[in-house]
């Protein structure tokens, strides 16, 4: 994060913005196999295993109650790379679906 902030300060005068995306746990091509194995352990469907794992009150839970999809993280990256994000530089953008209860400034 410090590297991101330093680059943003150094490169901003040249019209370059620099940000960091923290995606947290993300659904990828490997996820269905992992969820199927977890579901087999619990004796439930993969959908139910994900629902239980990401419930807001579980240790790995988040506000949206499911894993974040890789495409959703890509949307954040596309926004930050667009002209509409000019005012955002030197920042950490967290895309975890609302995981955790801490607030960082």
Q: Mention every residue, 6+ apart, whose C-beta is less than 8 A from residue 46.
A: 32, 35, 36, 38, 39
Domain 2-94, architecture per CATH: 3-Layer(aba) Sandwich (3.40)
pLDDT tens, residue by residue, 12-55: 999 999 999 999 889 999 999 999 999 999 999 999 999 998 88
The ranges assigned to domains in the chain are 2-94
pTM of the model: 0.82
Average pLDDT of 54-78? 92
Q: Report residue 32 as tokens.
A: 């269905």
């Amino acid at each position: 994060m410090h590297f991101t902030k330093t680059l943003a300060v150094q490169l901003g005068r040249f019209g370059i913005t620099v940000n960091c995306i923290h995606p947290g746990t993300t659904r990828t091509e490997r996820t269905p196999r992992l969820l199927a194995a977890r579901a087999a352990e619990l004796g439930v469907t993969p959908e139910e295993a994900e629902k239980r794992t990401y419930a807001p009150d579980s240790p790995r839970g988040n506000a949206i109650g499911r894993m974040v999809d890789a495409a959703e993280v890509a949307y954040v990256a596309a926004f930050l790379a667009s002209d509409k994000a000019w005012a955002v530089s030197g920042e950490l953008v967290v895309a975890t679906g609302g995981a955790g209860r801490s607030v960082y400034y």
